Amino acid sequence: MIRKFLKTKARSPIARRCEDDKLTTLRQKYELYYPIAEAQNGTRVTIDGQELVMLASNEYLGLSQHPKVLKAGKAALEKWGSGTMGARSANGGRGFHRELEEELASFLGKESCHVFAAGYLACMASITGFAQRGDIILADKNLHSSLWDGIRLSMAEVERFSHNNPQRLRDLLEQLDPQAPKLLSIEGIYSMEGHIAALPEFVEIAKEFQCFLSLDDAHGIGVLGNQGRGTANYFSLTEEVDIIAGSLSKSLASTGGFVAGDASSIEYLRTHCKQSIFSAAISPSQAACARAALGVMQDEPEWNEKLWSNTKRYKQLLEELELDTWQSETPAVPIVLGDRERAYYFWKHLREKGVFTVISTAPGVPPGKDLVRTAISARHTDEDFERIEAALRYAKKKL
Ligand code: PMP
Protein backbone atom coordinates (compact mmCIF):
# COMPACT_ATOMS: atom_id res chain seq x y z
CA MET A 1 0.00 0.00 0.00
CA ILE A 2 2.77 2.44 1.01
CA ARG A 3 4.86 1.42 -2.00
CA LYS A 4 1.92 2.10 -4.30
CA PHE A 5 1.44 5.52 -2.72
CA LEU A 6 5.14 6.36 -3.18
CA LYS A 7 4.99 5.37 -6.82
CA THR A 8 2.00 7.55 -7.61
CA LYS A 9 2.99 10.49 -5.39
CA ALA A 10 3.72 13.66 -7.34
CA ARG A 11 7.37 14.72 -7.05
CA SER A 12 7.71 17.52 -4.54
CA PRO A 13 9.27 20.79 -5.74
CA ILE A 14 12.40 20.09 -3.70
CA ALA A 15 12.78 16.56 -5.08
CA ARG A 16 12.40 17.99 -8.60
CA ARG A 17 14.97 20.68 -7.85
CA CYS A 18 17.44 17.94 -6.85
CA GLU A 19 16.72 16.01 -10.02
CA ASP A 20 17.06 19.02 -12.34
CA ASP A 21 19.95 20.86 -10.69
CA LYS A 22 22.45 22.01 -13.29
CA LEU A 23 25.30 22.37 -10.83
CA THR A 24 24.87 18.74 -9.73
CA THR A 25 24.95 17.60 -13.35
CA LEU A 26 28.11 19.64 -13.86
CA ARG A 27 29.71 18.18 -10.74
CA GLN A 28 28.92 14.67 -11.93
CA LYS A 29 30.43 15.49 -15.32
CA TYR A 30 33.61 16.66 -13.65
CA GLU A 31 33.57 13.48 -11.61
CA LEU A 32 34.16 15.09 -8.25
CA TYR A 33 33.94 13.07 -5.00
CA TYR A 34 36.62 10.59 -5.95
CA PRO A 35 36.99 7.69 -3.61
CA ILE A 36 40.72 7.36 -3.11
CA ALA A 37 41.43 3.67 -2.59
CA GLU A 38 44.92 4.05 -1.17
CA ALA A 39 47.10 6.92 0.03
CA GLN A 40 50.81 6.61 0.48
CA ASN A 41 52.83 9.17 2.38
CA GLY A 42 50.67 12.10 1.34
CA THR A 43 51.89 12.38 -2.26
CA ARG A 44 50.73 9.16 -3.93
CA VAL A 45 47.14 7.99 -4.19
CA THR A 46 45.40 5.18 -6.03
CA ILE A 47 42.07 5.78 -7.76
CA ASP A 48 40.37 3.13 -9.89
CA GLY A 49 43.60 1.16 -9.96
CA GLN A 50 45.65 4.12 -11.26
CA GLU A 51 48.50 5.40 -9.09
CA LEU A 52 48.65 9.20 -9.15
CA VAL A 53 50.89 11.90 -7.76
CA MET A 54 48.77 13.96 -5.39
CA LEU A 55 49.18 17.58 -6.42
CA ALA A 56 46.14 19.00 -4.69
CA SER A 57 46.36 18.19 -1.01
CA ASN A 58 46.47 20.78 1.74
CA GLU A 59 48.92 18.57 3.58
CA TYR A 60 51.67 21.11 3.03
CA LEU A 61 54.18 19.61 5.44
CA GLY A 62 53.31 16.00 4.66
CA LEU A 63 52.95 14.95 8.30
CA SER A 64 49.85 12.73 8.11
CA GLN A 65 51.96 9.57 8.13
CA HIS A 66 54.80 10.87 10.28
CA PRO A 67 55.66 8.17 12.88
CA LYS A 68 55.22 10.58 15.82
CA VAL A 69 51.79 11.64 14.57
CA LEU A 70 50.64 8.05 14.03
CA LYS A 71 51.95 6.95 17.40
CA ALA A 72 50.16 9.77 19.22
CA GLY A 73 46.89 9.08 17.40
CA LYS A 74 47.01 5.36 18.20
CA ALA A 75 47.86 5.97 21.87
CA ALA A 76 44.96 8.43 22.24
CA LEU A 77 42.58 5.98 20.63
CA GLU A 78 43.67 3.27 23.07
CA LYS A 79 43.47 5.52 26.09
CA TRP A 80 40.35 7.57 25.40
CA GLY A 81 38.33 5.55 22.91
CA SER A 82 37.06 6.53 19.50
CA GLY A 83 34.98 9.63 20.15
CA THR A 84 33.85 12.19 22.71
CA MET A 85 30.11 11.64 22.25
CA GLY A 86 29.19 15.10 23.38
CA ALA A 87 29.86 18.81 23.23
CA ARG A 88 32.58 20.51 25.24
CA SER A 89 29.87 22.40 27.08
CA ALA A 90 28.20 19.11 28.09
CA ASN A 91 29.88 15.70 28.51
CA GLY A 92 32.47 15.89 25.72
CA GLY A 93 35.27 17.92 27.34
CA ARG A 94 38.51 16.06 28.08
CA GLY A 95 41.85 17.06 29.53
CA PHE A 96 43.53 16.73 26.15
CA HIS A 97 41.30 19.44 24.67
CA ARG A 98 42.68 21.98 27.10
CA GLU A 99 46.23 20.72 26.55
CA LEU A 100 45.92 21.12 22.79
CA GLU A 101 44.41 24.57 23.25
CA GLU A 102 47.19 25.70 25.56
CA GLU A 103 49.85 24.44 23.16
CA LEU A 104 48.21 26.07 20.15
CA ALA A 105 47.78 29.38 22.01
CA SER A 106 51.41 29.42 23.07
CA PHE A 107 52.60 28.42 19.58
CA LEU A 108 50.57 31.22 17.98
CA GLY A 109 51.59 33.79 20.61
CA LYS A 110 48.04 34.27 21.88
CA GLU A 111 46.69 34.01 25.44
CA SER A 112 43.97 31.52 24.77
CA CYS A 113 42.47 29.18 22.20
CA HIS A 114 39.31 27.15 21.62
CA VAL A 115 39.29 23.99 19.51
CA PHE A 116 36.42 22.83 17.28
CA ALA A 117 35.62 19.54 15.52
CA ALA A 118 36.15 21.11 12.07
CA GLY A 119 38.02 24.05 10.60
CA TYR A 120 34.78 25.06 8.90
CA LEU A 121 33.06 25.36 12.28
CA ALA A 122 35.99 27.23 13.81
CA CYS A 123 36.11 29.75 10.98
CA MET A 124 32.36 30.28 11.10
CA ALA A 125 32.66 30.81 14.84
CA SER A 126 35.48 33.31 14.34
CA ILE A 127 32.71 35.55 12.93
CA THR A 128 29.48 34.50 14.71
CA GLY A 129 31.29 34.24 18.03
CA PHE A 130 31.96 38.00 17.96
CA ALA A 131 29.76 39.91 15.49
CA GLN A 132 26.06 40.49 15.99
CA ARG A 133 23.10 42.41 14.59
CA GLY A 134 23.93 46.11 14.41
CA ASP A 135 27.64 45.50 13.72
CA ILE A 136 29.29 45.93 10.34
CA ILE A 137 31.52 43.20 8.87
CA LEU A 138 34.10 44.29 6.33
CA ALA A 139 34.81 41.27 4.15
CA ASP A 140 37.35 40.52 1.43
CA LYS A 141 35.36 39.41 -1.63
CA ASN A 142 37.30 36.15 -1.95
CA LEU A 143 36.72 34.81 1.56
CA HIS A 144 36.24 31.10 2.19
CA SER A 145 32.71 29.74 2.32
CA SER A 146 32.96 29.09 6.08
CA LEU A 147 33.46 32.80 6.69
CA TRP A 148 30.56 33.79 4.43
CA ASP A 149 28.33 31.36 6.32
CA GLY A 150 29.49 32.93 9.58
CA ILE A 151 28.82 36.40 8.21
CA ARG A 152 25.27 35.49 7.16
CA LEU A 153 24.52 33.79 10.44
CA SER A 154 25.83 36.69 12.52
CA MET A 155 22.98 38.97 11.27
CA ALA A 156 25.49 41.82 11.05
CA GLU A 157 25.53 44.12 8.05
CA VAL A 158 28.20 43.17 5.50
CA GLU A 159 30.33 45.36 3.26
CA ARG A 160 32.62 43.66 0.71
CA PHE A 161 35.84 45.10 -0.63
CA SER A 162 37.87 43.94 -3.62
CA HIS A 163 40.27 41.11 -2.98
CA ASN A 164 43.29 41.92 -0.81
CA ASN A 165 42.91 45.64 -1.52
CA PRO A 166 43.49 47.82 1.58
CA GLN A 167 42.78 51.04 -0.30
CA ARG A 168 39.28 49.85 -1.21
CA LEU A 169 38.72 48.92 2.41
CA ARG A 170 39.76 52.40 3.50
CA ASP A 171 37.44 54.02 0.92
CA LEU A 172 34.60 51.94 2.27
CA LEU A 173 35.30 52.67 5.93
CA GLU A 174 35.43 56.40 5.31
CA GLN A 175 31.79 56.25 4.29
CA LEU A 176 30.52 54.16 7.19
CA ASP A 177 29.13 55.18 10.55
CA PRO A 178 32.23 55.65 12.74
CA GLN A 179 30.27 54.61 15.85
CA ALA A 180 29.13 51.19 14.54
CA PRO A 181 31.17 48.25 15.92
CA LYS A 182 33.16 46.72 13.06
CA LEU A 183 34.81 43.40 12.36
CA LEU A 184 37.34 42.99 9.56
CA SER A 185 37.47 39.49 8.06
CA ILE A 186 40.47 38.46 5.94
CA GLU A 187 42.55 35.35 5.31
CA GLY A 188 46.29 34.92 5.81
CA ILE A 189 46.85 32.89 2.65
CA TYR A 190 43.96 32.71 0.19
CA SER A 191 43.57 29.03 -0.63
CA MET A 192 42.54 29.33 -4.28
CA GLU A 193 44.77 32.23 -5.27
CA GLY A 194 47.78 31.50 -3.10
CA HIS A 195 47.97 35.21 -2.23
CA ILE A 196 49.36 36.41 1.10
CA ALA A 197 47.22 39.05 2.84
CA ALA A 198 48.52 42.61 2.79
CA LEU A 199 48.43 42.33 6.57
CA PRO A 200 50.55 45.38 7.54
CA GLU A 201 48.21 47.71 5.63
CA PHE A 202 45.09 45.98 6.95
CA VAL A 203 46.37 46.21 10.53
CA GLU A 204 47.01 49.93 10.13
CA ILE A 205 43.49 50.52 8.81
CA ALA A 206 41.94 48.29 11.48
CA LYS A 207 43.67 50.38 14.15
CA GLU A 208 42.65 53.68 12.63
CA PHE A 209 38.98 52.70 12.28
CA GLN A 210 38.87 50.51 15.41
CA CYS A 211 37.99 47.31 13.63
CA PHE A 212 38.21 43.95 15.41
CA LEU A 213 40.54 42.00 13.10
CA SER A 214 39.68 38.35 12.54
CA LEU A 215 42.20 36.40 10.46
CA ASP A 216 41.49 32.97 8.97
CA ASP A 217 44.95 31.45 8.70
CA ALA A 218 43.95 27.91 7.74
CA HIS A 219 46.59 27.87 5.00
CA GLY A 220 49.19 30.07 6.68
CA ILE A 221 49.83 27.82 9.69
CA GLY A 222 52.79 25.52 9.01
CA VAL A 223 53.65 27.49 5.88
CA LEU A 224 54.54 31.05 6.91
CA GLY A 225 56.32 32.53 9.91
CA ASN A 226 58.84 31.24 12.39
CA GLN A 227 58.44 27.42 12.60
CA GLY A 228 55.14 27.81 10.71
CA ARG A 229 53.46 30.13 13.23
CA GLY A 230 51.46 31.67 10.42
CA THR A 231 50.84 34.92 8.61
CA ALA A 232 50.59 37.22 11.65
CA ASN A 233 53.93 35.93 12.91
CA TYR A 234 55.45 36.26 9.42
CA PHE A 235 54.70 40.00 9.52
CA SER A 236 55.50 40.31 13.27
CA LEU A 237 51.92 41.44 13.84
CA THR A 238 50.57 38.79 16.20
CA GLU A 239 49.63 41.35 18.87
CA GLU A 240 47.76 43.50 16.38
CA VAL A 241 45.56 40.70 15.05
CA ASP A 242 42.64 40.12 17.45
CA ILE A 243 41.69 36.63 16.33
CA ILE A 244 43.59 33.89 14.53
CA ALA A 245 41.33 31.09 13.30
CA GLY A 246 42.54 28.01 11.51
CA SER A 247 42.19 24.41 10.58
CA LEU A 248 43.89 21.28 11.89
CA SER A 249 43.32 19.59 8.54
CA LYS A 250 46.17 21.10 6.54
CA SER A 251 49.72 21.39 7.89
CA LEU A 252 48.54 19.96 11.22
CA ALA A 253 47.65 16.68 9.52
CA SER A 254 44.40 15.99 11.36
CA THR A 255 40.79 17.19 11.34
CA GLY A 256 39.39 20.05 13.38
CA GLY A 257 39.87 23.76 13.83
CA PHE A 258 40.69 26.48 16.35
CA VAL A 259 40.17 30.11 17.24
CA ALA A 260 42.90 31.89 19.23
CA GLY A 261 42.96 35.35 20.79
CA ASP A 262 43.23 37.16 24.11
CA ALA A 263 41.67 35.53 27.16
CA SER A 264 38.53 37.66 27.32
CA SER A 265 37.75 37.25 23.60
CA ILE A 266 38.09 33.48 23.80
CA GLU A 267 36.00 33.26 26.98
CA TYR A 268 33.34 35.33 25.18
CA LEU A 269 33.58 32.97 22.19
CA ARG A 270 33.16 29.91 24.44
CA THR A 271 29.96 31.44 25.75
CA HIS A 272 28.55 32.39 22.35
CA CYS A 273 29.75 29.92 19.72
CA LYS A 274 26.95 27.53 18.85
CA GLN A 275 29.34 25.59 16.61
CA SER A 276 30.96 24.18 19.75
CA ILE A 277 28.19 24.50 22.34
CA PHE A 278 25.84 22.28 20.32
CA SER A 279 28.26 20.00 18.50
CA ALA A 280 30.42 17.10 19.69
CA ALA A 281 34.02 17.86 20.62
CA ILE A 282 36.97 16.85 18.46
CA SER A 283 37.84 13.16 18.86
CA PRO A 284 40.80 11.97 20.98
CA SER A 285 42.87 10.67 18.08
CA GLN A 286 42.33 13.81 15.97
CA ALA A 287 43.36 16.04 18.85
CA ALA A 288 46.40 13.87 19.58
CA CYS A 289 47.52 13.81 15.93
CA ALA A 290 47.27 17.60 15.69
CA ARG A 291 49.22 18.00 18.92
CA ALA A 292 51.95 15.67 17.68
CA ALA A 293 52.12 17.47 14.33
CA LEU A 294 52.47 20.76 16.20
CA GLY A 295 55.44 19.25 18.03
CA VAL A 296 57.00 18.00 14.79
CA MET A 297 56.61 21.45 13.22
CA GLN A 298 58.74 22.88 16.00
CA ASP A 299 61.26 20.04 16.36
CA GLU A 300 61.81 19.33 12.67
CA PRO A 301 62.05 22.62 10.73
CA GLU A 302 63.29 20.69 7.70
CA TRP A 303 59.69 20.02 6.58
CA ASN A 304 58.97 23.71 6.22
CA GLU A 305 62.32 24.25 4.46
CA LYS A 306 61.57 21.42 2.04
CA LEU A 307 58.08 22.77 1.42
CA TRP A 308 59.53 26.10 0.30
CA SER A 309 62.33 24.61 -1.81
CA ASN A 310 59.76 22.39 -3.54
CA THR A 311 57.49 25.39 -4.03
CA LYS A 312 60.32 27.37 -5.63
CA ARG A 313 61.12 24.49 -7.95
CA TYR A 314 57.46 24.11 -8.93
CA LYS A 315 56.99 27.83 -9.59
CA GLN A 316 60.06 27.85 -11.85
CA LEU A 317 58.58 25.00 -13.83
CA LEU A 318 55.22 26.74 -14.22
CA GLU A 319 56.94 29.94 -15.26
CA GLU A 320 58.97 28.09 -17.85
CA LEU A 321 55.74 26.62 -19.21
CA GLU A 322 54.18 30.08 -19.23
CA LEU A 323 51.18 28.96 -17.22
CA ASP A 324 49.14 31.61 -15.41
CA THR A 325 49.47 31.12 -11.64
CA TRP A 326 47.47 34.21 -10.59
CA GLN A 327 50.69 35.49 -9.03
CA SER A 328 50.51 32.91 -6.27
CA GLU A 329 53.16 33.53 -3.61
CA THR A 330 52.76 30.30 -1.69
CA PRO A 331 52.57 26.48 -2.02
CA ALA A 332 48.87 26.82 -2.98
CA VAL A 333 49.20 27.40 -6.71
CA PRO A 334 46.28 27.84 -9.11
CA ILE A 335 46.73 27.27 -12.82
CA VAL A 336 44.25 29.69 -14.34
CA LEU A 337 42.74 28.42 -17.59
CA GLY A 338 40.05 31.09 -17.99
CA ASP A 339 37.01 29.01 -18.87
CA ARG A 340 35.34 25.85 -17.66
CA GLU A 341 36.06 23.66 -20.68
CA ARG A 342 39.76 24.52 -20.77
CA ALA A 343 40.02 23.88 -17.02
CA TYR A 344 38.26 20.56 -17.45
CA TYR A 345 40.49 19.32 -20.25
CA PHE A 346 43.66 20.53 -18.56
CA TRP A 347 42.67 18.66 -15.41
CA LYS A 348 41.72 15.56 -17.44
CA HIS A 349 45.03 15.49 -19.29
CA LEU A 350 46.98 15.80 -16.06
CA ARG A 351 44.97 12.92 -14.71
CA GLU A 352 45.69 10.83 -17.81
CA LYS A 353 49.39 11.32 -17.14
CA GLY A 354 49.10 10.31 -13.51
CA VAL A 355 48.73 13.63 -11.66
CA PHE A 356 45.77 14.40 -9.40
CA THR A 357 44.56 18.01 -9.22
CA VAL A 358 41.25 19.74 -8.45
CA ILE A 359 39.12 21.92 -10.71
CA SER A 360 37.52 25.08 -9.46
CA THR A 361 35.12 26.91 -11.72
CA ALA A 362 32.73 29.86 -11.40
CA PRO A 363 30.83 30.52 -9.14
CA GLY A 364 33.56 29.05 -6.89
CA VAL A 365 36.03 31.48 -8.51
CA PRO A 366 35.40 34.83 -10.26
CA PRO A 367 34.23 34.60 -13.90
CA GLY A 368 37.16 34.10 -16.27
CA LYS A 369 39.30 32.62 -13.50
CA ASP A 370 38.30 28.96 -13.92
CA LEU A 371 41.30 27.07 -12.71
CA VAL A 372 42.99 23.87 -11.72
CA ARG A 373 44.12 24.10 -8.12
CA THR A 374 47.44 22.56 -7.28
CA ALA A 375 49.35 22.49 -4.01
CA ILE A 376 52.88 21.52 -3.18
CA SER A 377 53.93 19.31 -0.30
CA ALA A 378 57.22 18.96 1.51
CA ARG A 379 57.00 15.26 0.60
CA HIS A 380 57.11 15.66 -3.19
CA THR A 381 60.20 13.84 -4.45
CA ASP A 382 62.38 14.17 -7.58
CA GLU A 383 60.40 11.30 -9.05
CA ASP A 384 57.11 13.10 -8.35
CA PHE A 385 58.50 16.22 -9.99
CA GLU A 386 59.45 14.28 -13.11
CA ARG A 387 55.88 13.01 -13.39
CA ILE A 388 54.43 16.46 -12.67
CA GLU A 389 56.61 18.09 -15.29
CA ALA A 390 55.77 15.52 -17.97
CA ALA A 391 52.04 15.80 -17.21
CA LEU A 392 52.07 19.59 -17.28
CA ARG A 393 53.91 19.66 -20.61
CA TYR A 394 51.41 17.22 -22.05
CA ALA A 395 48.36 19.11 -20.77
CA LYS A 396 49.78 22.41 -21.99
CA LYS A 397 50.42 20.98 -25.45
CA LYS A 398 46.90 19.59 -25.62
CA LEU A 399 45.26 22.92 -24.71
N1 PMP B 1 39.12 28.29 5.93
C2 PMP B 1 39.80 28.16 4.78
C3 PMP B 1 40.47 29.36 4.21
C4 PMP B 1 39.85 26.93 4.15
O5 PMP B 1 40.51 26.81 2.98
C6 PMP B 1 39.21 25.81 4.73
C7 PMP B 1 39.26 24.43 4.10
N8 PMP B 1 39.52 24.33 2.80
C9 PMP B 1 38.52 26.00 5.92
C10 PMP B 1 38.50 27.24 6.49
C11 PMP B 1 37.79 24.85 6.57
O12 PMP B 1 38.68 23.95 7.13
P13 PMP B 1 38.36 22.39 7.32
O14 PMP B 1 38.54 21.75 5.99
O15 PMP B 1 39.36 21.95 8.32
O16 PMP B 1 36.96 22.28 7.79
pLDDT at 381: 97
The rounded distance, in Å, linking the Cα atoms of 52 and 380 is 12
Are 297 and 228 in contact, with CB atoms under 8 Å apart? yes
CA proximity to 199, closest of 319, 329, 111: 329
Which residue, judged by its Cα, is nearest atom 12 of ligand 1?
A: 119
Question: Which CATH number describes the domain made up of 67-299?
Answer: 3.40.640.10
Spell out the alpha helix ranges (H) of 155-261.
Answer: 166-174, 199-208, 231-234
Task: Give Cα 219 to chain centroid, integer Å.
Answer: 6
- Residues near ligand 1 (Cβ within 6 A): 118-120, 123, 144, 146, 187, 191, 216, 218-219, 247, 249, 257
The rounded distance, in Å, linking the Cα atoms of 67 and 289 is 10
pLDDT at 253: 97
Domain 20-54+301-398: state its class.
alpha beta
pLDDT at 363: 77
Å from CA of 133 to ligand 1 middle: 25
pLDDT at 7: 61
The rounded distance, in Å, linking the Cα atoms of 176 and 144 is 24
Are 100 and 127 in contact, with CB atoms under 8 Å apart? no
pLDDT at 40: 78
148 φ, ψ to 5°? -60, -40
pLDDT at 24: 85
The rounded distance, in Å, linking the Cα atoms of 13 and 24 is 16
What residue spans in the chain does CATH classification 3.90.1150.10 cover?
A: 20-54+301-398
Mutate to test the pocket of ligand 1, among 191, 215, 275, 283 (most ligand atoms within 8 A of CB): 191
* Mean pLDDT taken over the chain: 95
- Report pLDDT digits (tens) over 300-314: 999 999 999 999 999
What residue spans in the chain does CATH classification 3.40.640.10 cover?
A: 67-299
Å from CA of 10 to ligand 1 middle: 39
Are 126 and 118 in contact, with CB atoms under 8 Å apart? no
Instruction: State whether residue 173 is helix, strand or coil.
Output: helix
- 67: which residues sit within 8 A by CB, 6+ positions away? none
What stretches in the chain show pLDDT beneath 70? 1-8, 31
Atom of ligand 1 nearest to the CA of 189: 3
Hey, which bits of the chain come out as E strands?
38-40, 44-47, 50-54, 112-116, 136-140, 157-161, 182-187, 211-216, 243-247, 257-261, 332-336, 355-356, 358-360, 371-375
The rounded distance, in Å, linking the Cα atoms of 220 and 318 is 22
Å from CA of 216 to ligand 1 middle: 9
- 244: which residues sit within 8 A by CB, 6+ positions away? 108, 110, 215, 217, 230, 232, 238, 259, 260, 261
pLDDT at 36: 86
